[in-house]
Amino acid sequence: MPVPIVDSHIHLFPESHLPTLAWYSLEDPGPLGSQHSVDQYREATESIPTSAQTQPTYLRGFIFVETDRLSSVEEAPTESGRHGWRHALDEVSFLARIASGDSPIPGEGHSAGDRSLCLGIVPWAPLPAGPGALEKYMALVRERTGSEEVWQKVRGVRYLVQDKPSGVMLRSEFIEGLKWLGRQGLTFDLGVDARQGGIWQLEEAVEMLQKVYKGVDEERDKVKIVINHLCKPNLRLPYTSRESITSHPDFLQWKSQVTAMAQYSSTYMKLSGSFSELPPLSSDSEPDMALLVERLQPWTDVVFDTFGYGRVMFGSDWPVCNVGGGGNQVTWNRWRRVVEGILERRGLDAKQRVSLWGQVAVDAYGVKI
């Protein structure tokens, strides 16, 4: 029986929304500065070839993760340049139109049939403002979803910390906000960056986890924290052998912090984001998949050894994966094949493969397939 894939990490934005994205520049739009909506995602994933040696798979759907809109912790925009919550809430409205099957605004790039693909929504939220602001904001999110059916697809939030100054994750309001999410049954997607941001981000995240789970005795009240992209390790280290990686200080520091994160049963890791951290691939020729798997194996071995097969989930990081993966026509399937190779090397059985491809995401986010 074919195994359903739940893509646990994608972003969507129509071209008309580009000016509301924090990373977009009209002068230098970059490779992501164009329409990336469901139409383009379908093009990227429409063919999922599978070798005869593995279980066949099919794409069941995705978890949408916020796209880093222009926003501020304060609700109202100001003359000094703070954007407030308006753009983030507009993003919720856009996803609600996808998830409900409502007619899109012209140019948005989706149709009524796409509603079945949208399994979960993880919007932005003003986490550093604490529980009071979160409660108010999530009430507005609920209004924007327009129906109970779509509201039930809002499974958690993300406040991207990889570009924030030191100390943000340790503020009392941030910690109490995470605990509030746990009591509401909402997850938190944690985005830190070991390579470009620095190992201190992972160290701070570990301290944050200690504070978040301290004194929370009821398992049902513990916030599920879904860690993005292996914490973006330095995958560009010079590679000559496995030992050249496993003995490198960058790897050892990353391993120490990831191991510390994994000790908490309410933390999960996304097997995603690697194409933007590896040396870029070309669209003109097929890469050596076995070599890519071998290059990633020291890092993925740590993830599986520490989190186990019940807390690691597949994610593509589409369309960001296109930047280093060779472009929209090839990248998604290249990453699927790399993950398939990783699973083969680990010797996963049929049940473990089902978990990695979709069941872990279902369990972590509480979505229905």
CA–CA separation, 149 vs 58, rounded Å?
A: 24
Q: How do residues 28-81 score in pLDDT, each as one tens digit?
A: 999 999 999 999 999 999 976 555 446 789 999 999 999 999 999 999 988 777
Is the pTM of the predicted complex or chain greater than 0.75?
Answer: yes
Q: Order the strands of the 3-10 sheet from edge to edge.
A: 3-10, 57-65, 118-122
**Measured between alpha carbons, how far is 246 from 296 in angstroms, rounded to an integer?**
11
The residue whose two tokens read 């002068």 is 27
Percentages helix, strand, coil for the chain (3-state, rounded to 5) are 45, 15, 40
Contacts of 262 (CB under 8 A, 6+ apart): 269, 306, 307, 311
pLDDT of residue 103: 85
CA distance 262 to 307: 5
% the chain with pLDDT above 90: 93
Peptide bond between residue 319 and the one before it cis (omega within 30 degrees of 0)? yes
The pLDDT mean for the chain works out to: 96
Roughly what angle, to the nearest 10 degrees, separates helices 131-145 and 172-184?
A: 40
**pLDDT (0 to 100) of residue 55:** 76
Q: Which of 258, 269, 263 is nearest to 225 (CA)?
A: 269
Distances (CA, A) of 102 to 18, 119, 145: 22, 16, 11
Q: Determine how many CB atoms are found less than 10 A away from the CB of residue 243.
A: 9
pLDDT single digits (tens) 326-335? 999 999 999 9
pLDDT for res 287: 95
Residue 237, pLDDT above cutoff 50: yes
Question: H-helix or E-strand containing 253?
Answer: helix 249-262
Instruction: Write the DSSP assignment of 258-292 as a string of letters.
Output: HHHHHTSTTEEEEE--GGGTSPPPPSSS---HHHH
Tokens read off for 349: 């059985």
> Look-up: residue for tokens 């403002």?
129
Can you tell me whether residue 206 is helix, strand or coil? helix
Q: What is the pLDDT of residue 48?
A: 66
pLDDT of residue 284: 87
CATH of 3-365, one of 3.20.190.10, 3.10.450.710, 3.20.20.370, 3.20.20.140: 3.20.20.140
Quickly state the pLDDT bin for 137 (edges 50, 70, 90): very high
Question: Shortest CA distance to 66 belongs to which of 157, 130, 145, 129?
Answer: 157
The pLDDT value recorded for residue 99 is 97
Q: pLDDT tens, 209-234? A: 999 999 998 999 999 999 999 999 99
What integer pLDDT is reported at residue 50 of this predicted model?
52
Tell me the pLDDT tens digit for each residue of 163-208: 999 999 999 999 999 999 999 999 999 999 999 999 999 999 999 9
Which pLDDT does position 81 carry in this prediction?
A: 77
In 215-357, where do the E strands start and end?
225-227, 267-271, 312-314
Check pLDDT > 70 for residue 324: yes
